A and B are shown apart, each in its own frame.
Chain A
Amino acid sequence: MSTQKGRERLELLQGTLDLLILRTLIFGPQHGQGIGRAIQRTTDDELLVEHGALYPALQRLEQRGWIAAEWGTSANNRKARFYTLTPAGRKQLVRETTKWRRLSTAIGRVLGPEVGKG
């Protein structure tokens, strides 16, 4: 993955991984590797998602009942554990999204308008 080299990526903020996972799953069932790929793709490789951190997070969300899991077969015919969003998870996503939007707006106000790169 030569694209990743030489470029400093953003560390995930505490608690945001959960939100990203839930958001990703809104498009349908996905396995862990797929979720990781999807996050990286949609953030233009800006975010560093350590794959190893993904699974404990999935486990945690599953425990809370926001996602459900089932073993299935991937597109290329490999066994994988597929996660789906539960109704509770959907509500949580809405809540967290609102919260996140308010937070980023608030922080944006403090930081002021973006200054041109110098």
Chain B
Amino acid sequence: MFWRKRKQSDFTAEIEAHLELETERLKEQGLSEEEARRAARRAFGNVTRAEERFYEAGRWMWWDHLIQDLRFGLRLLAKNPGFATVAVLTLALGIGANTAIFSLIDAVMLKMLPVRDSQQLTLLNWAAQSVPGIMPASDIIHTAQGNMDQDKTGRMTSTSLSYPVFELLRARSDIFSSAFAFANVGRVNFGIGGEARLAEGELVSGDYFSGLGVVTVAGRAIGPADDKTGAAPVAMISYGYWETRFGRDRSAVGRSAVINNVPVTIIGVSPPEFFGLQPGRSIDVWLPLHTQPEVEPNWTEKGRSNFIRDDDWWVMVMGRLKPGVSEPQARAVLGAVFYESVAAQREAARSAPRRESAAEPIPSGPQGLPSLGLAPASKGLSYLRQEFSKPLLILMGVVGLVLLIACANVANLLLSRAAARQREIAVRLAIGAGRSRIIRQLLTESVMLASLGGTLGLLLAYWATGVLIAFMSSGRNPIAISVSPNLRALALTALISIVTGILFGLAPAYRAARVDLTGALKDASSLLGRGRLRLGFGKALVVSQVAMSLLLLVGAGLFVRTLENLEEADLGFDRRNVLLFGVDATEGGYKDERLLSFYQELQQGLEGLAGVRSAASSGSTLIGGGVSIDGLSIEGRPAPRPDDASTAVYFNDVGPRFFETMGIPLILGRTIGPQDTSAAPKVAVINEMLAHKFFAGSSPVGHRFGMGDSKSSSEIEIVGVVANAKYDDVRKEVPPTVYVPYAQHPGSLREMHFEIRTAGDPSQMVPAVRRVLRDLDQNLPLSDVKTQVEQINQTIFQESLFAKLSSFFGLLALTLTSVGLYGILAYAVARRTNEIGIRMALGAERAAILWMVSRESMTLAGIGIIVGAPAALAASRLVASMLYGLKPTDPLTIASAAAVLAAVALLAGYLPARRASRLDPMVALRYE
């Protein structure tokens, strides 16, 4: 199409040629040059009009208009910087918060694993019917690693399988093109050149990396040849670990290291985007599955290899379905293989001699047997999603509301501005501007505002995402997610800002273009009669803003009070001035007696430090999240059934002076002391809750009990009762708890945690503590060094995050709403200046005027609160599970939120009201 390229100059030349030809012709008819030229022009008509019509026919038009509109819009914004700043900032905050939260949701919930064809991956799991809190299928499963969750039908589910089952499933090459196993080993002691540090470790089978399609950036990946008993131990490190520990030195590949006392060779580095299969948890080092007996010798019972045992379920299995194999097909085939295996196991268990005297008879048939399930694994394992999906969705709702309020604000701003510009628009219409042109001009302006807001919002989002991640990582489980505002987040921001622009641009634009020309030209105030009606839409916006703000304020109130309740909860022990850390001496090769004495020496060393009041040790620190639960059988009472949850009590292995150090008062008898050695009679201290539950009305001291697998119910004697103290979680009630001396239960002894009560700031003691440990053994790293207060704060970080964010957003909403309220009232006062002048001239008191305007703001706020209260009540139910110590319908919270809103509304209304009451009637009457 050549015409598109035809230029204006070409067209002008054509007209010029026409005039020449016409002049020529007329001259031939006998006219003079001058006459001919004039006549030709006359016959042509309006040259400019012809040129304009040519111009408009081209598609340059809209572009040209756009440039014009943009230029004009920018000029207007520059002329009114207050309006522009408020509008852009308002939008930036709304859009920025939305993008930040969406980026997080994207990283946590939507992002696929950075592996080849992740949609083909499937993670195996099993489910079995069971009493809550009791191990399902306990006749065939001795231990199961990892978390167990309850599914929708109440069955317990887990992703851990036994190694023999993994091999059976992997053998089905008709279903899987590859299948691989992995197991979490938690933190390992990673020593390089004599310097020990902790690293997150994972055991993987030989086809893990090839199955996932993860290619190393240096060296090679762990292969099937590495994953065999007797193979030279190797390790693969993550890109992040390579960076922090080796400074991305290529020679790291091939170096030897010591992991949990096992010498290994580093063979490769994973790509930077691969953190392992769990979004949020980042693995530092991968080891072949078959290094387990060396790296984690505690997992292996004497003489029973984990690779042969079918009752130790410790590996997670992921597979890549063969192309053409459907999920139901895979489920049927693999399910049958699995069932055959567990049914055979049950048969074997039935015929084998009983391990436990009090165990239930093993059912014959499939009752209570686990069944296999398949789940798409494309987004990684689900822990992070479970923990954060609801909070993130709620946050999304909160920031969505903020964005709505922001939009309403900008709409109001534009609305009142469009009204103020009515005269200008009327003039433009009068001199021939098309209505569509005017609407387009106004739309351009609002989209421009939205784009400015969107751009600023994106910058804000970058910053806010970083802050949020940092905050979320301060919880108990550090989070590693690669959150870069990706294309999806970008697209969403763009969409939000453009839709917002159109949304709030349309209403004023529509209205502005329906201006009654003569009226508007004559005088803006002649529209006064219809002023109320015209403000209706703006008022509706303000009312909805108030309602949404109430929602956010109630949410903020609930979360803040939840945090307060948690922070002030009575824990039963003194949380101040306590330093915590952990040491695992078994990683240094300590065993049995040596291990016990090592921990004792360490404790004595700590007590000898200046500034330390007392030091103690325990298997689990308080409010640390870790627990051991076991059944209790009390002497002289019927033995409990193994699935009877009512005898389940919490255990903690503690050393001497534990109660004194933690500030838990003794009620009866004595505490655990240095005399309770492995040679001494076994003793225990119980808490009041347990005493109340099992020994109501009598003194428990002197009673005897047995625990868990032990054959005797008279093994342990109760020597004391201490006051109630929370164990693993601030939110939970105090559980019935048994404290036993760790020295008397050396079998389960591994990592030990130490508590140090200091005279001053506990964090100041860290270097001294490190020195004490180094003097004993320089190869052992400290882990989990933190104060007791820090540890508690970590468990309530989500509540603290919510309290902070919801307060911030509530405040933001309040500010936006008050700006909206102020804006609409200020505008109303400006429009009614004349009327107010008349009223005053007729003798209206200033107070009456003040009241007249204030009443309006109170009415708006009142309607908003009445509309918002039921919505807030309904919405607060959604967060009921996230609250502590108060109900979602807490009347105090709702009342104070409403009161705050009313106060702010009064304040926002006061300024314009005062201005109205101070008008000089003479000036006001002349006001146009």
Residue of A nearest to B43 (CB): A51
Query: CA–CA, A81 to B1, complex, Å?
Result: 17
Residues from 45 to 103 in A contacting B, C-beta threshold 8 Å: 50-53, 55-56, 59-60, 62-63, 74, 76, 78-81
> In the complex, how many angstroms separate the beta carbon of B539 from the nearest chain A beta carbon?
48
Q: Are B44 and A37 in contact (CB under 8 A)?
A: no
Task: Known contacts A1-B26, A1-B43, A50-B45; decide if A56 and B50 are in contact (CB<8 Å).
Answer: yes
Task: Known contacts A33-B21, A63-B3, A81-B17; decide if A55 and B46 are in contact (CB<8 Å).
Answer: no
> Which residue, of A1, A36, A51, has the highest number of chain B Cβ atoms within 10 A?
A51
Q: Are A78 and B11 in contact (CB under 8 A)?
A: no
> In the complex, how many angstroms separate the beta carbon of B643 from the nearest chain A beta carbon?
85
Q: Which chain A positions have C-beta within 8 A of B21?
A: 31, 33-34, 74, 76, 78, 80
Against B, the Cβ 8 Å flags (1 = close, 0 = not) of A17-47 are 0000000000000011110110000000000
Task: Known contacts A1-B39, A50-B44, A62-B3; decide if A55 and B17 are in contact (CB<8 Å).
Answer: no
Give the total of A residues in contact with B, Cβ under 8 Å: 23
Q: Which chain A positions have C-beta within 8 A of B49?
A: 52
> Which residue, of A55, A76, A80, has the highest number of chain B Cβ atoms within 10 A?
A55
B14 interface neighbour in A63, A74, A81, Cβ under 8 Å: A81
> Which residue, of B20, B22, B50, has the highest number of chain A Cβ atoms within 10 A?
B50
Q: Are A52 and B22 in contact (CB under 8 A)?
A: no
Query: CA–CA, A53 to B51, complex, Å?
Result: 10
Q: Are B17 and A78 in contact (CB under 8 A)?
A: yes
Q: Are B45 and A55 in contact (CB under 8 A)?
A: no
Query: CA–CA, A36 to B39, complex, Å?
Result: 15
B20 interface neighbour in A36, A52, A78, Cβ under 8 Å: A78
Residues from 17 to 35 in B contacting A, C-beta threshold 8 Å: 17-18, 20-22, 24-26, 29
> In the complex, how many angstroms separate the beta carbon of B589 from the nearest chain A beta carbon?
89
> In the complex, how many angstroms separate the beta carbon of B31 from the nearest chain A beta carbon?
8
Q: Are A51 and B22 in contact (CB under 8 A)?
A: yes
Q: Are B18 and A32 in contact (CB under 8 A)?
A: yes
> In the complex, how many angstroms separate the beta carbon of B32 from the nearest chain A beta carbon?
14
Task: Known contacts A81-B14, A81-B17; decide if A55 and B3 are in contact (CB<8 Å).
Answer: no
Q: Are B24 and A55 in contact (CB under 8 A)?
A: no
Query: CA–CA, A56 to B1, complex, Å?
Result: 17
Q: Are A51 and B45 in contact (CB under 8 A)?
A: yes
> In the complex, how many angstroms separate the beta carbon of B114 from the nearest chain A beta carbon?
52
A52 interface neighbour in B29, B39, B47, Cβ under 8 Å: B47
B18 interface neighbour in A50, A53, A55, Cβ under 8 Å: A55
> In the complex, how many angstroms separate the beta carbon of A15 from the nearest chain B beta carbon?
16
Residues from 23 to 68 in B contacting A, C-beta threshold 8 Å: 24-26, 29, 39, 43-47, 49-50, 53-54, 57
> In the complex, how many angstroms separate the beta carbon of B20 from the nearest chain A beta carbon?
6
Give the secondary structure class of A's interface: helix
B57 interface neighbour in A33, A63, A74, A76, Cβ under 8 Å: A63
> In the complex, how many angstroms separate the beta carbon of B281 from the nearest chain A beta carbon?
64
Query: CA–CA, A63 to B46, complex, Å?
Result: 22
A60 interface neighbour in B1, B24, B57, Cβ under 8 Å: B57
Q: Which chain B positions have C-beta within 8 A of A78?
A: 17, 20-21, 24
Task: Known contacts A52-B47, A53-B45, A55-B50; decide if A33 and B22 are in contact (CB<8 Å).
Answer: yes
Q: Which chain B positions have C-beta within 8 A of A33?
A: 17-18, 21-22, 25
Query: CA–CA, A81 to B7, complex, Å?
Result: 14
Query: CA–CA, A93 to B1, complex, Å?
Result: 21
Query: CA–CA, A63 to B2, complex, Å?
Result: 9
Q: Is B15 an interface residue (CB 8 A)?
A: yes
> Which residue, of A33, A36, A62, A81, has the highest number of chain B Cβ atoms within 10 A?
A33
> In the complex, how many angstroms separate the beta carbon of B443 from the nearest chain A beta carbon?
28
Q: Are A55 and B15 in contact (CB under 8 A)?
A: yes
Q: Which chain B positions have C-beta within 8 A of A36?
A: 18
Q: Are A31 and B57 in contact (CB under 8 A)?
A: no
Query: CA–CA, A55 to B6, complex, Å?
Result: 13
Q: Are B17 and A52 in contact (CB under 8 A)?
A: no
Q: Are B22 and A59 in contact (CB under 8 A)?
A: no
Query: CA–CA, A12 to B13, complex, Å?
Result: 26
Q: Are B14 and A32 in contact (CB under 8 A)?
A: yes
Query: CA–CA, A53 to B50, complex, Å?
Result: 7
Q: Which chain B positions have C-beta within 8 A of A50?
A: 43-45
Residue of B nearest to A40 (CB): B43
Q: Which chain B positions have C-beta within 8 A of A37?
A: 25
Q: Are B17 and A51 in contact (CB under 8 A)?
A: no
Query: CA–CA, A53 to B49, complex, Å?
Result: 9
Residue of B nearest to A80 (CB): B17
Q: Are A52 and B44 in contact (CB under 8 A)?
A: yes
Q: Which chain B positions have C-beta within 8 A of A56?
A: 50, 53-54, 57
Q: Which chain A positions have C-beta within 8 A of B17?
A: 31-33, 78-81
> In the complex, how many angstroms separate the beta carbon of B48 from the nearest chain A beta carbon?
9
> In the complex, how many angstroms separate the beta carbon of A111 from the nearest chain B beta carbon?
31
Q: Which chain B positions have C-beta within 8 A of A31?
A: 17-18, 21
> In the complex, how many angstroms separate the beta carbon of B576 from the nearest chain A beta carbon?
84
Residues from 882 to 899 in B contacting A, C-beta threshold 8 Å: none
A59 interface neighbour in B13, B20, B39, B57, Cβ under 8 Å: B57
Residue of A nearest to B35 (CB): A1
Query: CA–CA, A62 to B2, complex, Å?
Result: 9
Residue of B nearest to A35 (CB): B18
> In the complex, how many angstroms separate the beta carbon of A73 from the nearest chain B beta carbon?
10
Query: CA–CA, A31 to B49, complex, Å?
Result: 20
> In the complex, how many angstroms separate the beta carbon of B707 from the nearest chain A beta carbon?
93
Query: CA–CA, A79 to B62, complex, Å?
Result: 32
> In the complex, how many angstroms separate the beta carbon of B750 from the nearest chain A beta carbon?
85
Residue of A nearest to B24 (CB): A76
Query: CA–CA, A74 to B19, complex, Å?
Result: 13
Q: Which chain A positions have C-beta within 8 A of B13?
A: 79
Query: CA–CA, A79 to B18, complex, Å?
Result: 9
Query: CA–CA, A36 to B29, complex, Å?
Result: 17
Q: Which chain B positions have C-beta within 8 A of A55?
A: 11, 14-15, 18, 50, 54
Residue of A nearest to B47 (CB): A52
> Which residue, of A32, A52, A63, A76, has the highest number of chain B Cβ atoms within 10 A?
A52
Question: Can you list 18 pairs linking A and B with CB atoms under 8 Å apart?
Answer: A1-B39, A31-B18, A31-B21, A32-B17, A33-B21, A34-B21, A37-B25, A50-B45, A52-B46, A52-B49, A52-B50, A55-B14, A55-B50, A56-B53, A59-B54, A63-B3, A74-B21, A80-B18
B residues contacting A by CB (< 8 A) are: 1, 3, 6, 11, 13-15, 17-18, 20-22, 24-26, 29, 39, 43-47, 49-50, 53-54, 57
The 10 closest A-B pairs by CB, nearest first: A52-B45, A33-B21, A56-B53, A51-B44, A50-B45, A52-B50, A33-B18, A81-B14, A80-B17, A52-B44
Question: Apart from A52-B45, A80-B17, what 8 extra A-B contacts exist at CB < 8 Å?
Answer: A50-B43, A51-B22, A51-B44, A52-B46, A55-B15, A59-B3, A59-B54, A81-B14
